[in-house]
Amino acid sequence: MIIQAWNIRGLNSPKRKRYLRLLLKDYHPNVLFLQETRLGGGSCTAICQKFSFTHGYEEPSCGLSGGLMLLWDSSVFSSGADTIQERLDWALINSEWEESIPLAGLTHLDFFGSDHRPLLLTIGDLPEVGNSSFSHKRKRFRYEAMWSIDPECHQIVSSSWESTPASSVTEVVLHNISSCAQILGEWHEKKYGKLPKDIRNTKRSTPLVLHNLIQFYFSDLLGLINEAGVWCSDGDDILNIIEQYYTTLFMTSFPADEDTEAWLGNLSLEAKSNYVHILSTEDYGEGGVGQAPSYVWRSIIWGRSLLIKGLRKRVGTGDTILVFKDPWLPRPATFRPYCSTLDNPNLLVRDLINESRSGWNMQMVRELFNVADQQSICSLPISKFPKADSWMWHYTADGTYSVKSGYFVASQLDQFDPSPSKSWFAVWWKGFWKTSLPKKVLIFAWRGFHDALPTYVGLQKRKVVDHTNCPICGFSVDSNSHAVFLCRGFKKIWKELRVSMLNNLSMDISFKQIVLKASEILSRSEYELFLVAAWYIWSERNQIVHGRKANPSDVVEGVE
């Protein structure tokens, strides 16, 4: 006798009934117990007739959940024993039941459209192999994705899908599907039957592959500490340590995070600095992925943009940190000052520290920076016993990267950039919109501040043009700051307007930095004249781009 139980999760849909019919066709149970039928009363008779059972009992569902149904055929006789209940995917028996039926067997079957597995209970002597259709479990057909690139698979499907004499089209289709599945299964066993063995052989050869990769990627390491705590600087010893670590890592199901962090902690200081430099350098473009990159390297490049958003310099001596170019302020997302000096773009952080290293040179800080930058600089402590400048991860207390902090940064990137409606920017924007200038000039300055002017850099990102060269001078990158303030074609105009602050500007300075710096060093009337001149130059540039000849005198007259 075969007893089958299944949490079917609803028997009122044609799909569930189709799955149940396939299950009954494979195992032919004498007793079928269904849970969560979600059927009301009076459904048992129809279900018995549909699936060829002679008797049945049902417990209607309560609302949209629950419902039990017990079905059995005429070969089963009631013994009057107490009801045995089954919950989820387990069967519960007592010692008396086990003693009275010692040859019973319980099997979890495959999934049939539900997240619960059916249970198959066999009672009595199991039939011998070959004497019953049940003894030979029919293997379910599964299509393998790798077949699609094998030309033999297409030939097998084409030759198997042939019309055969039958009474109806349906029988022809079913026969062809069954025949094709059988031939594909036999072909797979014959051609790919040794695939598990090949995988095991590949695992055995992994140490040799790792040895070659280590020699290529880790040739510049100064040394490592082995498991015994001994410093090893010999090349062969370093290779053995790395090879042993990665062999253990990839042969273990769940490598511990602390093991990985401990190994990375053994890297020499020079190796760490080189690694951070590769990830954080601004000129390392998409071409750094290379040809046929490994999965690990592609993952590193993919996460590079996230790392850049959280890496900044930790101030030690300040000898290697450029004040206006390097990220060093504890303020996301750029970690750089809002304002950039127009006189000394290569100023170092050490120049902002007083000689006794007791604090910052506040006179110089007040002269070079706005209030927001002054607050960020003064929040950084200065040690009397400084170490060398180093990189750190801003979003953890100890400066060490963690997956948790990386996920936080990735999910909160939009909130890290200081909003123009908060703190110091709120006051600055309030004064900006109160200036007595035409709205078109203010809107132009606002768009340039947010890098929203339609320069060739922006047009190239939108696939409108295929290059970023300036249409006026033809050489430099046509950014927002270049198009208005830095282009050679308009240097004469700024010179005639006597705007000396634009002399000797760094080519990587932004429109935003120039506008903020101008608001700091120019008077109100001079600042308004500065914005009007910028708008006239932008208008003149657009007319030149659309075919009109340049006339600098018109711009100067319009500004005056």
> What pLDDT is stored for residue 208 in this prediction?
58
- Per-residue pLDDT reduced to its tens digit, 208-219: 555 565 555 555
> What pLDDT is stored for residue 174 in this prediction?
82
| CA nearest to 144, candidates 86, 91, 195, 74 | 195
User: Average of pLDDT values for 461-483?
Assistant: 86
Residue 207 pLDDT > 60: no
- Per-residue pLDDT reduced to its tens digit, 330-339: 887 778 887 6
- Is-contact 238 262, C-beta < 8 A? no
Question: Running DSSP on this structure, what letter comes out for residue 287?
Answer: G
Q: Which amino acid is at 88?
A: L
Q: Confidence band (pLDDT; 50, 70, 90) for 111?
A: low
Separation of alpha carbons 209 and 417, rounded Å: 44
- Is-contact 11 37, C-beta < 8 A? yes
Residue 263 pLDDT > 50: no
- Is-contact 57 34, C-beta < 8 A? no
- Is-contact 394 335, C-beta < 8 A? yes
Q: Confidence band (pLDDT; 50, 70, 90) for 446?
A: very high
Mean pLDDT, all residues of the chain: 76
Segment of 148-157, 215-224, 267-276 carrying the highest mean pLDDT: 148-157
Q: Confidence band (pLDDT; 50, 70, 90) for 129?
A: very low
Residue 272, classified by CB atoms within 10 Å of its CB into exposed (0-12), middle (13-18) or buried (19+), is middle
- Is-contact 143 137, C-beta < 8 A? no
User: Average of pLDDT values for 191-206?
Assistant: 70
Residue 77 pLDDT > 80: no
Q: Confidence band (pLDDT; 50, 70, 90) for 471?
A: confident
User: Average of pLDDT values for 463-484?
Assistant: 87
Query: Could you state, in order of their start, the residue ranges of all structural domains in the chain?
Result: 3-72, 153-193, 196-253, 310-414, 424-558
| CA nearest to 378, candidates 411, 413, 331 | 331
> What pLDDT is stored for residue 210 in this prediction?
56
Antiparallel, parallel or unpaired: β 55-59 and 68-72: antiparallel
Buried b (16+ CB within 10 A) or exposed e, 41-76: eebbeebbeebebeebebebbeeeeebbbbbbbeee
Separation of alpha carbons 177 and 143, rounded Å: 12
pLDDT higher at 204 or 13 = 13
Give backbone dihedrals phi and psi of 108, rounded to 5 degrees, phi first.
Answer: -85, 125
Percent helix, strand and coil across the chain, each to the nearest 5:
45, 10, 45
- Torsion angle in degrees (nearest 10) through CA of 158, 161, 162, 167: -170
At a CB cut-off of 8 Å and minimum separation 6, what does 107 contact? 119, 120, 121, 122
- Per-residue pLDDT reduced to its tens digit, 346-361: 889 998 998 888 889 8
> What pLDDT is stored for residue 410 in this prediction?
78
